């Protein structure tokens, strides 16, 4: 597969990409988050494949400092610095060392105008954006807002252990067709149910440039073995 480099200011990612969402799993919190990130770093170094991580907010700084991995936030709020309480200021995740953020994950969906606002504010700060979508048409819709990456994740398959790339290849094919109608270069990831190198291979064969996954790695009894399998096959 061809390698692409996504750059925004000094931040860069390359495809094919494995992006691990740590969610709010206790298996990926605090010390355990750092340990998992270090495993990912080792696998990335061994295989030469790009692995990025999206830990909880409180762990962004440590992981950005203690590893060389590209770190993403799981969400940002559509706000500017000022009188907001309890919200995720885009500047705060950048200051802590993130190079980008997920937006509109199926577990943290937003109004469409807020997605646009977040994409624009992330761009103005030099942060990379991964906008998540649950259907092919929504993928096309989010591509209209010009994020760096669109990630198609059918919510009905998330965390179910059946890979989208094998269970619903038509959703991925439709997504690619619709997104490419309006944008030839945007990076397309897929996710939901990805747990093995085979799932990843199927995803790449369908034309995506990587995968977004969570429980498949985070909750694996041997996280390193799973990641290695994914990275070798991607």
Query: Considering only residues 4, 11, 47, 57, which one is a binding residue for a copy of itself as defined by CB under 8 A?
Result: 57
Q: Does 16 sit behind a cis peptide bond, omega within 30 degrees of 0 on the bond before it?
A: yes
Known catalytic membership, residue 80: no
Is residue 230 part of the contact set for a copy of itself (CB under 8 A)? no
CA distances from 57 to 3, 24, 110, 143 (A): 30, 10, 18, 26
Segment holding 133, helix H or strand E: strand 128-133
- Site size toward a copy of itself (CB under 8 A) is 64
Stretch that binds a copy of itself, among 9-17, 99-107, 164-172, 221-229 (CB under 8 A): 99-107
Q: Among candidates 24, 33, 85, which has minimal Cα distance to 60? A: 33
Token code pair at residue 79: 């706000």
Of 45 and 159, nearer to a copy of itself (C-beta) is 159
Nearest to a copy of itself of 110, 230 (CB atom): 110
Q: Which stretch binds a copy of itself (CB under 8 A): 88-96, 164-172, 188-196, 225-233?
A: 88-96
Selected from 51, 158, 194, 206, the binder of a copy of itself by CB under 8 A is 158
CB of 109 to a copy of itself, least distance (A): 4
Cβ closest to a copy of itself, residue 57 vs residue 198: 57
d(CA 35, CA 161) in angstroms, rounded, equals 24
Catalytic (active site) residue 41: no
The DSSP call for residue 188 is: E
Copy the structure tokens of residue 60.
């962004």
Nearer to a copy of itself (CB atom), residue 10 or residue 24: 24
| Integer Cα distance of 13 and 231 in angstroms | 15
**Separation CA 190–CA 212 (nearest Å):** 6
Could you list the active site residues? Answer: 105, 153
Q: Which residues bind a copy of itself (CB under 8 A)?
A: 21, 23-26, 29-30, 56-62, 73-75, 79, 81-89, 91-93, 95-96, 102, 104-113, 115-116, 133-135, 137-138, 140-142, 144-146, 155, 158-159, 178, 181-182, 214-215
């Amino acid at each position: 597969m061809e390698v692409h480099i996504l750059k925004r200011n000094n931040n860069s990612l390359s495809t094919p990409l494995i992006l691990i969402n740590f969610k709010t799993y206790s298996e990926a919190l605090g010390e355990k988050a750092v340990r998992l990130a270090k495993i990912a770093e080792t696998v990335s170094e061994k295989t030469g494949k790009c692995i990025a991580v999206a830990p909880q907010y409180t762990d962004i700084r440590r992981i950005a400092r203690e590893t060389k991995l590209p770190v993403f936030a799981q969400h940002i709020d559509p706000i500017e610095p000022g009188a907001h309480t309890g919200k995720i200021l885009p500047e705060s995740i950048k200051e802590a060392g993130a190079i980008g953020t997920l937006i509109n994950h199926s577990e943290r969906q937003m109004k469409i105008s807020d997605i646009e606002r977040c994409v624009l504010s992330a761009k103005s700060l030099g942060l990379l954006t991964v906008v998540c979508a649950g259907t092919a048409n929504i993928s096309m819709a989010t591509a209209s807002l010009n994020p760096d990456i669109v990630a198609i994740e059918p919510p009905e398959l998330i965390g179910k252990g059946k890979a989208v790339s094998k269970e619903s290849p038509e959703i991925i094919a439709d997504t690619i067709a619709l997104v490419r109608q309006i944008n030839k270069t945007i990076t397309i990831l897929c996710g939901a149910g990805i747990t093995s190198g085979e799932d990843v291979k199927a995803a790449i064969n369908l034309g995506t440039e990587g995968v977004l996954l969570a429980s498949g790695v985070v909750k694996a009894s041997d996280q390193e073995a799973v990641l290695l399998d994914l990275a070798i096959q991607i």
